[in-house]
């Protein structure tokens, strides 16, 4: 078996650092004057986010309200929650907003104002969710494709609550693969999106959250959960194999991490998938374990002679993991400084790029520094621009996507499809991410911090 070590800084840092910064500035100069749609203050959502970023208490109440909103069935319910969440002195709301809230809860204007509020929340959700079903999403996907951006689609829904729901989700995924591959086969050809250094890439690409496919999923009941999920996922993977579709397993909470990795390996070791080259897994750079997990995956891939995609992300559950570890008095699995997650992202990027014999790399981030580092390190290794791809979330960071796409890189949008109710958890997570002080998008496009500061190399200091 191949042995790996962890010292991957094989190139002169100062030399390469100059190139990373130069590319970063170049990307910045192409997109700084534009505003990503989530921060657009012409829209209600942009105004609300703007206020959230300057008023911590309002942010908390707004996100709590958005979270509970889909379960409020009557206007009376909504009024009651508005009163409870927002009619508080500690929010220090501007007079115009106070007036608007009053209009929603009192007098003859109330029903109309509530209607406007519902419309605004739906509009906000639509920034992140492409459609309620595949039919609604297809025109959006085609528009993306026509603008030279590829996609991976995800059916919203986390943690199935009963087996009927899980089975239903499985059927929806099978249906999604069929419809997507059939419809997209008629779209125009694009060498930028369809050609990789290893061959042709499928147009159809989906991302799956395993917790949505088994209501009894419990990592402590490892073997039984594995049997159930493997059976369901084999159906999805085989359908994908028959319809030329890529399938990623998304990475969720830390407690599911080892299970997800084991499940991924077990699927690819199955005889039925021995020729399937289109499987992918997500790794989270905010986890201290991930370097070890990545090296083990590479070793496993080499020994089984399997190639697969790795989507490198920073991780979407930082607050959750930190809170759980504190509450349970457990060692915290995630880095506690943003710079450490960024530094680890770069370290893992280098490992991935050193193993393209096993891994097909996908760098998912809206952070220009992280992306410029990945691109420059790939060039440094003489990897062609189509031997990796850059992934971003639908509805976010449009100026960055446009700039990278024009530079000739393959950009893929992660496009969620689904109802508002299961979509709310996703929506609130995205809003939290983008309004946090640490968010690269906020620092770049709202706080207008200096590009040179944002592009500085991140370091571990412990």
Ligand X SMILES: Cc1cc2nc3c(=O)[nH]c(=O)nc-3n(C[C@H](O)[C@H](O)[C@H](O)COP(=O)(O)OP(=O)(O)OC[C@H]3O[C@@H](n4cnc5c(N)ncnc54)[C@H](O)[C@@H]3O)c2cc1C
In the complex with ligand X, the residue whose CB is nearer, 99 or 460, is 460
Rounded to an integer, what is the distance from CA 452 to the centroid of its chain?
26
The contacts found for 16-21 with CB under 8 angstroms, 24 or more apart, are 16/376, 16/377, 16/380, 17/457, 19/376, 19/379, 19/380, 20/369, 20/372, 20/373, 20/376, 20/455, 20/457, 21/372, 21/452, 21/455
Rounded-to-5 percentages of helix, strand, coil across the chain: 60, 10, 30
Q: For ligand X, which residue of 78, 440, 445, 455 counts as binding (CB under 6 A)?
A: 440
In the complex with ligand X, the residue whose CB is nearer, 215 or 443, is 443
- Residues contacting 270, CB < 8 A, separation 6+: 230, 234
- Residues contacting 62, CB < 8 A, separation 6+: 48, 51, 52
**Mode of pairing for the β-strands spanning 279-284 and 195-196:** unpaired
Closest CA to 385 of 370, 365, 371: 371
CA distance 220 to 24: 44
As measured in angstroms, the least distance from the Cβ of 35 to ligand X is 17
Find out whether 169 and 124 touch, Cβ atoms under 8 Å: no
CB 270: neighbour CB atoms within 10 A? 15
The maximal CA–CA distance of the chain, rounded, in angstroms, is 75
* Span near ligand X by CB under 6 A; candidates 1-9, 47-55, 134-142, 385-393: 385-393
In the complex with ligand X, the residue whose CB is nearer, 76 or 462, is 462
Quick check: 308 binds ligand X (CB under 6 A)? no
Q: For ligand X, which residue of 359, 364, 451, 455 counts as binding (CB under 6 A)?
A: 364
In the complex with ligand X, the residue whose CB is nearer, 391 or 435, is 391
As measured in angstroms, the least distance from the Cβ of 204 to ligand X is 16
* Span near ligand X by CB under 6 A; candidates 156-164, 194-202, 218-226, 310-318: 310-318
Report the DSSP beta bridge partners of residue 248.
Answer: 207, 280
Find out whether 234 and 193 touch, Cβ atoms under 8 Å: no
Q: Which two tokens stand for residue 269?
A: 């070791």
- Give the SS3 label for residue 208: strand
CA distance 253 to 247: 19
* Span near ligand X by CB under 6 A; candidates 98-106, 189-197, 234-242, 434-442: 434-442
Q: Can you spell out the DSSP letters for 157-189?
A: --S-SSHHHHHHHHHHHHHHHHHHHHHHTTSPP
* Span near ligand X by CB under 6 A; candidates 174-182, 291-299, 308-316, 417-425: 308-316
As measured in angstroms, the least distance from the Cβ of 17 to ligand X is 18
Quick check: 315 binds ligand X (CB under 6 A)? yes
As measured in angstroms, the least distance from the Cβ of 190 to ligand X is 19
As measured in angstroms, the least distance from the Cβ of 430 to ligand X is 9
Q: For ligand X, which residue of 91, 393, 431, 451 counts as binding (CB under 6 A)?
A: 393
In the complex with ligand X, the residue whose CB is nearer, 176 or 364, is 364
Please tell me the count of residues contacting ligand X according to CB under 6 A: 30
As measured in angstroms, the least distance from the Cβ of 361 to ligand X is 13
In the complex with ligand X, the residue whose CB is nearer, 253 or 355, is 253
As measured in angstroms, the least distance from the Cβ of 272 to ligand X is 25
Quick check: 394 binds ligand X (CB under 6 A)? no
Report the DSSP beta bridge partners of residue 317.
Answer: none
Rounded to an integer, what is the distance from CA 389 to the centroid of its chain?
14
**Mode of pairing for the β-strands spanning 245-249 and 204-208:** parallel
In the complex with ligand X, the residue whose CB is nearer, 104 or 313, is 313
Q: Which two tokens stand for residue 147?
A: 């603008």
In the complex with ligand X, the residue whose CB is nearer, 86 or 317, is 317
Q: Print the binding letters for residues 330-359 with ligand X: x by CB under 6 A, - otherwise.
A: -----xxxx-xx------------------
Phi-psi label, residue 315: left if phi above 0, alpha if psi -120 to 50, beta otherwise: left
* Residues within window 187-246 making contact with ligand X, judged by CB under 6 A: none
Quick check: 313 binds ligand X (CB under 6 A)? yes
As measured in angstroms, the least distance from the Cβ of 107 to ligand X is 42
- Give the SS3 label for residue 66: helix
Quick check: 427 binds ligand X (CB under 6 A)? no
As measured in angstroms, the least distance from the Cβ of 19 to ligand X is 20
Q: For ligand X, which residue of 151, 254, 264, 318 counts as binding (CB under 6 A)?
A: 318
* Span near ligand X by CB under 6 A; candidates 72-80, 133-141, 260-268, 309-317: 309-317
* Residues within window 247-286 making contact with ligand X, judged by CB under 6 A: 250-251, 282, 284, 286
In the complex with ligand X, the residue whose CB is nearer, 82 or 343, is 343
Residues of this chain that bind ligand X (CB under 6 A): 250-251, 282, 284, 286, 313-318, 335-338, 340-341, 364-367, 370, 391-393, 414, 433, 438-440
């Amino acid at each position: 078996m191949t042995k790996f070590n962890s010292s991957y800084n094989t190139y002169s840092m100062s030399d390469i650092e100059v190139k990373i910064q130069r590319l970063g500035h170049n990307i910045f100069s192409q997109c700084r004057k534009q505003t990503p749609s989530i921060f657009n203050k012409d829209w209600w959502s942009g105004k609300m986010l703007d206020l959230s970023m300057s008023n911590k208490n309002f942010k908390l109440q707004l996100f709590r309200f958005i979270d509970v909103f889909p379960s409020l069935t009557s206007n009376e319910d909504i009024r009651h929650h508005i009163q409870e969440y927002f009619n508080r002195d500690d929010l220090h709301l501007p007079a115009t907003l106070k007036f608007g809230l009053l209009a929603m809860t009192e007098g003859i204007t109330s029903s109309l104002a509530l209607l406007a509020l519902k419309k605004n929340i739906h509009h906000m959700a639509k920034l992140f969710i492409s459609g309620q079903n595949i039919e609604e999403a297809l025109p959006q996907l085609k528009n993306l494709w026509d603008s030279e951006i590829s996609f991976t689609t995800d059916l919203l829904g986390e943690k199935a609550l009963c087996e009927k729901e899980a089975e239903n989700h499985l059927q929806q995924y099978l249906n999604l693969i069929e419809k997507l591959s059939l419809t997209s086969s008629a779209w125009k050809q694009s060498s930028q999106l369809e050609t990789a250094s290893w061959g042709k890439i499928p147009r159809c690409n989906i991302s799956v959250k395993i917790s949505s496919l088994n209501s009894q999923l419990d990592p402590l009941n490892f073997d039984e959960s594995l049997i159930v999920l493997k059976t369901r996922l084999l159906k999805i993977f085989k359908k994908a194999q028959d319809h030329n579709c890529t399938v990623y397993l998304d990475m969720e909470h830390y407690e599911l991490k080892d299970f997800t990795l084991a499940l991924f390996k077990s699927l690819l070791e199955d005889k039925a998938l021995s020729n399937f080259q289109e499987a992918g897994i997500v790794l989270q750079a905010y986890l201290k374990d991930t370097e070890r997990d990545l090296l083990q995956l590479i070793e496993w891939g080499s020994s089984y002679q399997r190639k697969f995609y790795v989507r490198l992300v920073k991780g979407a559950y930082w607050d959750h993991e930190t809170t759980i570890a504190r509450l349970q008095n457990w060692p915290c699995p995630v880095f506690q400084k943003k710079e450490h997650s960024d530094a680890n992202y770069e370290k893992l990027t280098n490992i991935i790029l050193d193993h393209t014999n096993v891994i097909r790399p996908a760098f998912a981030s809206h952070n220009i520094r992280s992306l410029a580092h990945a691109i420059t390190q790939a060039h440094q290794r003489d990897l062609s621009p189509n031997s990796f791809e850059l992934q971003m979330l639908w509805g976010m960071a449009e100026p960055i996507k446009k700039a990278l796409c024009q530079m000739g890189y393959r950009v893929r949008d992660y496009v969620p499809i689904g109802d508002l109710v299961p979509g709310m958890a996703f929506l609130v997570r995205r809003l939290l991410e983008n309004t946090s002080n640490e968010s690269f998008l906020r620092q770049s496009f709202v706080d207008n911090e200096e590009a040179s500061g944002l592009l500085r190399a991140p370091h571990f200091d412990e």
